[in-house]
Amino acid sequence: MRDFILGQTGIKVSELCFGALPMGPLQKKMEPAAGAEIILQALAGGINFIDTAQLYQTYEPIRLALHKCAVRPVIASKSMALEAEGMTTAIEECLRQLEIDYIDIFHLHAARVPEGEDVFKTRAGAWQVMLDYKEKGLIKAIGISTHSVPAVQLAAENNEVDIVFPIINRTGIGILNGTLEEMEKAIEKCRQHGKGVYLMKALGGGCLVNEYHAAVSFVRERFSLPIAMGMVNSREVEYNLAYFNTAADKLNTLPELVIEEKCFQVVDFICKDCGQCIETCPNHAISKLAPESKPVINPDLCLRCGYCVGFCPQFAIRMT
């Protein structure tokens, strides 16, 4: 498997990054011990990079895996905190729950940029805390995780940003405030400015899983950057390792990966119509069809991330 150095950080990572989101309570709700075994399988196969987040609630399986592996992997986490207090809590939680002395990478999570706004200003308190922890050596590199084209453009021009974690895929699903072409240009701008970049949602959060080869090849060939992919069972780990370890001219010898598709639905009679899911959805996939109706999820826009599940106070959104 190929390795990459993330920008000017000196952090060396495998091309395939283990995405921890799907194993957590927002999606599969795997037992921590079972999740740890999947992580260990991935690490044994050559992956040295794990991406997680405060929201994902997957620190425990990672912690268990760290106790059993001989070499510590690179760990990236993130927080949606807007202010200093929330970000301090998030970083301390990550250090404590993973039982680690430092975090390799920490991001502003879901760094959206509404027209005319600068995420580094609107979340200035949280960003300053990240800078402070980096100064102390408790974080090695800081950056943003985002679906937004303007946020990636801003990050490229911000000298304090080390690493950018944007969405990209062959159909452009999930990209906010811009087009696929504009996101490609923003990613290239980050590279030109010396930022480390790794990519999310090459499979569109699962929307493109039935065209795995075309979707993953598009991202690998177009960008030649590390790619984070969620994995929840041995079959997925084995297939992803095989794909990323196979020469490009031999990929047609691999069968297509078949994964059961997932979707999220709002359970009408449980929903209290608070609107938090609508505000939270990173791809504006949840809306009300009429003022008196309950929210509904548009499957054509849903990225299957499950963020809405974590924000619903009634647990009215279920994966089916």
Q: What is the DSSP string of the chain?
A: --EEE-TTS--EEESEEEE-GGGSTTTT---HHHHHHHHHHHHHTT--EEE--TTTT-HHHHHHHHHH-SSPPEEEEEE---SHHHHHHHHHHHHHHHT-S-EEEEEETT----TT--HHHHTHHHHHHHHHHHHTTSEEEEEEEESBHHHHHHHHH-TT--EEEEB--TT-TT-BSS-HHHHHHHHHHHHHTT-EE-BB-TTGGGTTGGGHHHHHHHHHHHH---EEEE--SHHHHHHHHHHHTS-GGGGGGSPPP------EEE-TTT-----HHHHH-TT--EEESSTTSPEEE-TTT-----HHHHH-TT--EEE-
Q: Are 166 and 186 contained in the same domain?
A: yes
pLDDT at 211 over 60: yes
Q: Are 9 and 127 contained in the same domain?
A: yes
Q: Are 275 and 215 contained in the same domain?
A: no
Six-digit token pair at 161? Answer: 């940003």
Q: Are 274 and 230 contained in the same domain?
A: no
Higher pLDDT, 213 or 84: 84
Q: Write down the pTM of the prediction.
A: 0.89
- The whole-number pLDDT of residue 320 equals 62
221: in domain = yes
- The whole-number pLDDT of residue 49 equals 98
CA distances from 264 to 119, 207, 280 (A): 29, 12, 14
* Total number of domains constituting the chain: 2
Which residues span the domain enclosing 280?
Answer: 264-319
pLDDT of 222-254, one tens digit each?
Answer: 999 999 999 999 999 999 999 999 887 788 777
258: in domain = no
- The whole-number pLDDT of residue 253 equals 79
Percent of the chain predicted with pLDDT > 70: 96
- The whole-number pLDDT of residue 259 equals 62
Q: Are 182 and 271 contained in the same domain?
A: no
pLDDT at 315 over 70: no
Measure CA of the first residue to CA of the last residue in the chain; give whole Å: 34
The CATH number of residue 303's host domain is 3.30.70.20
- The whole-number pLDDT of residue 306 equals 79
Q: What is the DSSP string of 50-98?
A: EE--TTTT-HHHHHHHHHH-SSPPEEEEEE---SHHHHHHHHHHHHHHH
Q: Are 169 and 288 contained in the same domain?
A: no
Q: Are 99 and 185 contained in the same domain?
A: yes
Q: Are 180 and 309 contained in the same domain?
A: no
The CATH number of residue 8's host domain is 3.20.20.100
58: in domain = yes
Q: Are 178 and 221 contained in the same domain?
A: yes
Last residue of a domain, one of 198, 224, 253: 253
CA atoms within 13 A on the CB side of 143: 30
Higher pLDDT, 259 or 25: 25
Q: Are 232 and 149 contained in the same domain?
A: yes
Q: Are 246 and 315 contained in the same domain?
A: no
pLDDT of 71-116, one tens digit each?
Answer: 999 999 999 999 999 999 999 999 999 999 999 999 999 877 665 5
Last residue of a domain, one of 253, 284, 307: 253
259: in domain = no
pLDDT at 118 over 70: yes
81: in domain = yes
In whole numbers, what is the pLDDT of the chain averaged over residues? 92
Q: Are 174 and 245 contained in the same domain?
A: yes
9: in domain = yes
Last residue of a domain, one of 226, 253, 280: 253
